[in-house]
Structure 1
Amino acid sequence: MNTPAEQPQQLHGKHHGKVVLITGGGTGIGAAIAQRLAQEGAQLVLAGRRQAPLDAVAGPLSALAIVADMSDSKQARSVVQQAVATYGRLDAVVANAGGHGFAAVADTDDEAWQASLTANLGTAFVTLREALGQLIENRGSAVVISSLAGLFAGPKVAGYTVGKHALIGLTKSLARDYGQHGVRVNTLCPGWVKTPMADAEMDEFAAATGIASREEGYRTVTANVPLRRAAEPAEMASIVSFLASEEASYITGATIVADGGAHVVDLPTVAFEAL
């Protein structure tokens, strides 16, 4: 039996014939999504800022890898055009790219503020706007990757928190306006996931607190999470696969939380667990 983090060798082709654009497809959750959808028959377009990670993921999957700043309208439009020129259509978008905004409000200058909004909101907004024509034509779907930070505020991550909250509003607006054209748009809010970005955060956390290792860091930050662990990227990929498939044909405008149950914990009662 496969554990939740394992991918089976053969998956049924529920995305056979679909063309899917994934932003931030070179690492972490984006790479796992690409691998999952490719196993399920999708043809992929991976967009990101760095060639080497994109190529590393795209090569084994026979995917189209395009280096682009997807917050730039011309570059995003070009990516969509290349997707259509290569595969003839575009059926789904996974707006996964993000980052920046790791400081409190008083420590965030104008440049950092704009960078955080661009990375976390602007990239998704521009990508989806440029892809809408194809999504409408093909009655397609989109999955927007937000975060648990889209629902709650962590310490000293103002720009990231605001941007991730705004993605939920973007999802709802798209679902409201384009559902009549058969377009579905949903948000996924992951909690801690073992990605390179999270690994780096755990390394910093371990060094700052004297914890012995990265794994001990993950155990510490998930100590009050009901499932008591961080997720694997493949677990997020399985949710995206569902939301982008016909199995979710009547789901739109939804916010799906995948955080091991963190959002159900009443923090003032955590101390009572020892009783």
Structure 2
Amino acid sequence: MEPTHGRFTGRVALVTGAGTGIGAAVCRRIVAEGGNVVLTGRRPQPLHDLATELGARALALPGDAAVTGDAQRIIKSTVEQFGRLDVVVANAGGHHPGAAADTDDDAWSYSLHANLNSAFVTIREALPSLIEAGGNVVVVSSIAGLFAGPGVVGYVTTKHALIGLMRSLARDYGHQGVRVNAVCPGWVRTAMADEQMDELGKQYGIDREAAYSLVTKNQPLRRPAESEEIANLVAFLASPEASAMTGSVVVADCGANCVDLPTIAFAEGAAQ
């Protein structure tokens, strides 16, 4: 992506879950606009590969964003390397299928750890630096934070909780100059979504692209978003251009949230 302007020149962003998908796209966008990025996540190789691609303004620091010691080490190294921390993009997460009766304690704990604790712990440890810099946080939730999909109680619950976390942080730290907002993507073409499409494809005897078409057929744009499209929104919220925004939820789902489910049958009938 060609840089539009240097909205992040001289600024430093920490991105969790940075190795692939939305996190990687956010890192590319911030560097393209003059910023420095610290990439963290639990899988070292994708982080190091992306940091090598991005060059001297990117630093890979593997770790678990939900573990206090890891978060403290990563933030300390960030400030030592770049002198400051302006932005945290809380993007780390994970998906574990199961309705409530099918979700044991380990599966429930996984969802809390991967989706909620990863954001809370990292943001909590970053707050002193963000207050000093007058910085901001972008939390990557999901439309699963607004609505409930079938058989994913841990994911739905923790993605809802991220919005509550965002609002609480915005309420408590706005007077100290820290902004906090959330992005709620719908289907995005990522490695994790590809895996889900492959599983759905097996059920219907269709390929991945047909599965994406199936899950988006009732969305106005009739397609999944691309990681770069979500990165555009994250970059806007993290930039000075969004200086009046805090406590906001921005939905990027190709229109899925505006569809009135009980009226779908009328549209399908009219198309026949």
Q: C-alpha deviations, 1:26-76, integer Å up to 9, x for none?
A: 000000000001100110100000111101111121211011011110110
1:97 CA displacement? 0.2
Aligned match of 2:244: 250
Identity %: 57
Q: 2:155 aligns with which of 135, 149, 160?
A: 160
Residue number among 82, 94, 102 corresponding to 1:107 in the alignment: 102
Specify the code of the residue in structure 2 equivalent to 1:229. R
Q: 1:178 aligns with which of 150, 173, 182?
A: 173
1:52 aligns with 2:45: yes
Separation (CA, whole Å) in 2 of partners of 1:224 and 1:248: 31
Deviations 1:99-120 (A, max 9, x none): 1331110010011101111111
Secondary structure in 1 matching 2:189: coil
Q: Which residue of 2 aligns with 1:3?
A: none
Local SS of the residue matching 2:4? coil
- 2:116 counterpart (117, 121, 142): 121
Partner of 1:4: none
Q: 1:271 maps to what in 2?
A: 265
What is the rounded CA distance, in whole Å, between the counterparts of 1:10 and 1:247 in structure 2? 16
Give unpaired runs (5+ residues) of structure 2: none
Paired with 2:203 and 2:136, the residues of 1 have a C-alpha distance of: 42
Which residues in structure 2 correspond to 1:82-93 (within 5 Å)?
82-93=77-88
The Cα shift of 1:10 comes to 3.1
Secondary structure of 1:67's partner?
Answer: coil
Letter in structure 2 aligned against 1:266:
D
Q: Deviations over 1:105-149 (max 9, x none)?
A: 001001110111111100000000000000000000010000010
Deviations along 1:143-173, whole A, 9 cap, x unmatched?
A: 0000010001101100000000000000000
1:125-136 to 2 correspondences below 5 Å: 125-136=120-131
SS of equivalent to 1:55:
helix
SS of corresponding position for 2:61: strand
Aligned AA (1:17)? G
Residue of structure 1 aligned with 2:35, choices 37, 42, 46: 42
The reply on whether 1:10 has 2:6 as its aligned counterpart is no
- Which one-letter code corresponds to 2:33 in the other structure? E
Matching residue's letter, 1:140 = G
The Cα shift of 1:210 comes to 1.0
Rounded to whole Å, the distance in 2 between the matches of 1:12 and 1:251 is 20
Partner Cα distance (1:186, 1:77) in 2: 22
| Whole-angstrom distance in 2 between the partners of 1:217 and 1:208 | 10
Alpha-carbon distance in 1 for matches of 2:3, 2:213? 32
In structure 1, the residue matched to 2:194 is 199
Q: Distance in 1 between matches of 2:45 and 2:203?
A: 31
Q: Distance in 2 between matches of 1:10 and 1:97?
A: 25
Q: Distance in 2 between matches of 1:250 and 1:228?
A: 32
Aligned-pair distance for 1:238? 0.3
TM-score normalized with structure 1 length: 0.96
